[in-house]
Structure 1
Amino acid sequence: MHPYIAEALGTALLILFGNGVVANVVLSKSKANNGGWIVIALGWGLAVALAVYIVGRVSGAHINPAVTIGLASIGAFEWALVPGYVLSQIVGAFIGSTLVYLTFYAHWEETEDPALILACHSTSPAIRKMVPAFITEFIGTIILVFCVLALGKVAMGADSTQLAWASTMGTWFGPLLVGVLVLAIGLSLGGPTGYAINPARDLGPRIAHALLPIKGKGSSDWAYAWVPIVAPILGGIAGAQLFVFSAL
């Protein structure tokens, strides 16, 4: 399998499971309705772990432009591959969101709140203030990239940043550790914005929300869309740089 296809597949699985658990919890008449934040955070953690298990050995399972760009910024990934990876991730996220739409087809018209319908695709801030939301996404993505690289060193004793990432993705327990990390971020830091910490995770489904004939949907909230794109990219770069600076 080509790494670009693997990234698209991995990101599609991430969104199918991740946005799927959101839809399960918030859409009217779902049997999991009102399952709560812990169910959503756990679902996202498992979504990341499973996606990494599936495609990690092929592409490294970045499944996140912030990870791809962050690694490239410290010489741990080829810049020439970045555009293809990022485009594949966005396409995969769009496909995953479309599958969520089809899976919950009967529930959109039963859900009266357009904000809940959008939540099944993309993120939005609990308090609509752009600067605090930006800071939240920035910090969350720093933690994501820094901790994954650090976990690679701890797990395998890798002697380079490239190996730190690759070794974590290439072990049976590596993807599980990454899933636990995302679960921890969601439980501890996710409330203010819904913790996109991934530009593709937000942009691909937001495009799907705008294009799909979803009954009862409202605005796709493009005024906010730049935050979960720009903040995670900068956070990913900062997290990778912090890892190198820390010399762990």
Structure 2
Amino acid sequence: MQQLQIHDLDVERLATGLREETGAFARAVAGLDPHAPVPTCPEWRVRDLVGHIGQAHRWSAELVRTRAAAPVPDPRAAEPGAPREWPEWLRDGADALVAAVVDGGPATPVWTFLDERPAAFWLRRMLADTAVHHADAAGAARVDFAIAPDLAADTISEGLGLIAAAGSANLQPALAELRGDGETLQLRPDDLGAGWLITRTPAGVIWERRTADADVTVSGAVRDLLLVFSRRTDPDDDRITITGDRALLDHWWAHTAF
């Protein structure tokens, strides 16, 4: 299986990326009604989305500091304060996580929901989570979702790492349906070099960061591939091109909600 901690971004870029995406998220929710719904997270209001981000950053910082497991918090229990206080509250949470990882050592083994991993796992996990929820916030605000290509690419790789990790189907049973007999999917970015080649094997999903022929290929800007991969936009979006076995893509889409 693909090793979860392998990625292209160093710890410094993960840290600056987390701060970039947290700031972009804060700008997207500025001026929104805290009680307004979030179309791509229909069970949440804007306040819940804000609460989740700031709370998740603080929760993962505490995991890194203590190296101990802790229950996943309920975003509805978060206290982000008044909307005017959101930018500072969000920034403080991101800074707390960066400090915990840097001060404790990025390679220090810590608890994760899969198994013990280097502390940098949580910096990368929270960057990916924040990037996807930045897209949610942009959608709620009806503004454009903009993200640096390297951050979008690493968010896709991080998500594939979770899907391919040993034990992932124990956490998300639908992922067991992605086992296959060598069927291949390609995510091919128009604005980057290598894409992502995904192969369904009897043991589960494996993937490589390379461009190759596949049974079905999804092409577009890496930002748009991220939105499709994270199910924040439909594969039929006119910015996306699909060639090959559409049924294979639809099956993937139906079993990767997480």
Higher strand proportion: 2
Larger radius of gyration: 2
TM-score category, normalised to shorter length: under 0.3
Higher helix proportion: 1
TM-score, scaled relative to structure 2? 0.25
